Structure 1
Amino acid sequence: MKIQYCSDLHLEFPDNRTWLDQNPLVPKADLLIIAGDTYHLGRDFDKHPYFDVLSHAFEQVFLIPGNHEYYSGYNVENSEGEMDIALRHNVHLVNNKELVIEDTHLIFTTLWSRIQKEPWEVLRGLLDFQRIQFRGKLLSLDTYNYLHDHALLFLKNALKNKETKKQVVITHHLPSHFCNVEEFRNSPLNEGFCVDLTSLIEASSADVWIYGHSHRNVPKFEINGTRMLTNQLGYVGLEEHQTFNREAWVQV
């Protein structure tokens, strides 16, 4: 199976939308996967015209919510269970969901991260705790960690499913410290972006792991045979898009 992939398109910013209008994705596969931070969830999410663009360009599109999807008041508790929202007939927003297409098992989850070492730095510095609501209240540290624990349980159970020949995992948050760039590794906010599941990846049968979130594109590498891939647009206004690849794809 051939999969095209990207993340962190951030359509909520006019600079990003303008850039994508002028520099559209170049279809190289029938299936496109977007690993989070596409657009804020809310009343007009499914009406965004970019989903029409994607629907016409690809046979199938699956996107997962990142953290920014919840920045406009859409309650993050809606992501506790399985999510599958049809934005177009062939464009679906999915979370904590497994799909089998041809001979490939696809596992989708935001993942989140787990904050333990420097919680007060993260609480002060991460916008998630100022913008995301859970059951009518601003996100707390305990709830944030609960969301990760819930996603991780789903992920571990899904990885045990070996009925298909191939397995692809899609998360928004970074699943290993090896996915992080040097400039961020000593940041007090690091735990809000990355959770180190290296040992889980090493023990898994995953062929490919696609991730986003950091707005930094680490060259592809492997963890015990699992290809780790990212292709993030980031904030165009901050020049974070320089290494974005409009044609990135992988053969599974």
Structure 2
Amino acid sequence: TQAAAPLRVQIASDIHLEFFKNKIPPLEEIIQPKAPVLALLGDICALGTEEKRPVYRSFLEQCVLKWDVVIVLAGNHEYYSDYNKKTTVQQVNEWLRATCAELKKPAHFLQDASIVLSNVRIAGATLWTDIPLSQTVEVAQSPECVEYKLNDFRKCFTSALDPNKTKENQAKARALQASDTNSWHKRSVAFIKAEAEAAAKAEQNLLVLTHHSPTFQNTSNKEGEGKEYMKYCASTDLEHMFKGIHTWCHGHTHFNGDQSIKGTRVVSNQRGYTFENVDGYNTECVIEVPRARVGCRRRGMCSMM
């Protein structure tokens, strides 16, 4: 029998609608519909400042009318907030989840969550980076460390108590710390590992979608080399997890690529800031994931590679 056509997923990230000073350009200038599924991999628009939210909601409303399925991730910039307001990560997650559910056709907000489309398991997360203790202010005792340099630790806020009780803890908001993002990183890693196991058990291919990058290999601009703190701003070495993952798509680095590492395809398609000229952004970037699990030949079945 003829093999089923692969699942086609269009990807885009780092559109940064918040930086458009005037009117947002037409959707087709940003993304041209070329696949049934659209995955927005974060940094689409800052949402901690409430006046930007209608812009993002309008963008999503257009997307759900053009694609059969829309998947939404939060990047670090989605959480950026004014210091006086201190909108928390938890509140932004709450808004995104509610907004995606309220659209004319609901979108899927994936924060350590997954969906299965046509026998392909899709797992999504922000996947904050893993910041070593040597890159924290307390240990480094120097401004040349991630926790000092990165705007995330000045412009993102969190509830000081139970992160699941947003409203009760609104008054307790404080700036993010590396200990917060490291904790979320570990939670996302555990989630992705569990999804890989579930996909294998169900004989599904796994597509992982994250904002931050899962490898240091060719995912960031070479200009950052030589500055130790730069690598931990964007990526974590998770190549040991690649086995069992068909494709891993990410954003965040404003550096586009398509490569194979340890049998896993690693792809990014990032537009970048309005004042940047990011090479390689494609308004029609589509990846394909076979509906039959790669590697099932070991069980005498088939291989779709």
Name the SS for the 1:177 alignment partner: coil
The structure 2 residue matched to 1:231, chosen from 263, 266, 269, is 269
Q: Select the residue among 105, 127, 132 that pairs with 2:156.
A: 132
* CA contact 2:27–2:62 (8 Å) conserved in 1: no
Q: Which amino acid aligns with 1:75?
A: T
Q: For 2:252, what is the secondary structure of its paired residue?
A: coil
Asked if 1:209 is matched to 2:245, the reply is no
Counterpart for residue 136 of structure 2? 119
Any conservation in 2 of the 1:105–1:164 contact (CA below 8 Å)? no
Aligned-CA RMSD value: 2.3
| 1:184-227 Cα distance to aligned partner (Å, 9 max, x none) | 343323212111111111xx211110000011112x11112211
Aligned to 1:102: 118
* Higher mean C-alpha displacement, 7-16 vs 56-65: 7-16
2:239 maps to which residue? 198
2:9/2:39 contact within 8 Å kept: yes
For 1:186, the equivalent position in structure 2 comes to 226
* Residue 70 of structure 2 corresponds to residue 54 of structure 1: no
Q: CA 1:41–1:18 in 2, change beyond 3 Å: closer, same or farther? A: closer
Contact 2:239 2:262 in 1 (8 A): no
Residue 23 of structure 1: SS of its match in structure 2? helix
Quote the Cα distance in structure 2 between the aligned partners of 1:223 and 1:48: 36
Tell me what 2:89 maps to: 76
CA distance in structure 2 between the aligned counterparts of 1:154 and 1:24, rounded to whole angstroms: 31
Q: Is the 8 A contact 2:250 2:268 kept in 1?
A: yes
Residue 77 of structure 1 and its aligned partner are, at CA, apart by 3.7
- TM superposition shift of 1:100: 0.6
User: Retained in 1: the 8 A contact 2:20–2:274?
Assistant: no
1:173 is aligned, of 212, 224, 231, to 212
Does structure 2 retain, via aligned residues, the 8 Å contact 1:5–1:32?
A: yes
CA contact (8 A) 2:45 2:77 kept: yes
Distance 2:21 2:220 in 1: 25
Which of the two has greater strand per residue? 1
Residues 15 and 29 (structure 1), Cα distance of their counterparts in 2 relative to 1, 3 Å cut: farther
| Cα distance between partner residues in 1 of 2:245 and 2:72 | 19
* Runs of 4+ off more than 6 Å: none
Flag structure 2 segments of 5+ consecutive residues without an equivalent. 1-6, 138-144, 160-172, 290-305
TM-superposed CA distance for 1:80, in Å, is 8.8
Q: CA deviation at 1:15?
A: 5.5
Q: Deviations over 1:105-127 (max 9, x none)?
A: 00001111011143332122100
Give ranges in structure 1 of 5+ residues lacking alignment: none
User: Which of 72, 82, 85 matches 1:63?
Assistant: 72
SS at 2:244 equivalent: coil
Residues 96, 22 of structure 1: alpha-carbon distance in 2 compared, 3 angstrom cutoff:
closer
Q: Spell out, residue by residue over 1:6-42, the C-alpha distance to the aligned partner (whole angstroms, 9 max, x if none).
A: 1111111116964555714111101000111112235
| TM-score (norm. length: structure 1) | 0.89
Higher deviation after alignment, 149-158 or 185-194 = 185-194
Greater Cα offset, 186-195 or 69-78:
69-78
Q: Deviations over 1:103-162 (max 9, x none)?
A: 100000111101114333212210000011111010112112112112112122112112
Inter-partner Cα distance in structure 1 for 2:150 and 2:28? 31
Between the aligned partners of 2:261 and 2:66, the Cα distance in structure 1 is: 32
Q: Name the stretch that deviates more: 91-100 or 185-194.
A: 185-194
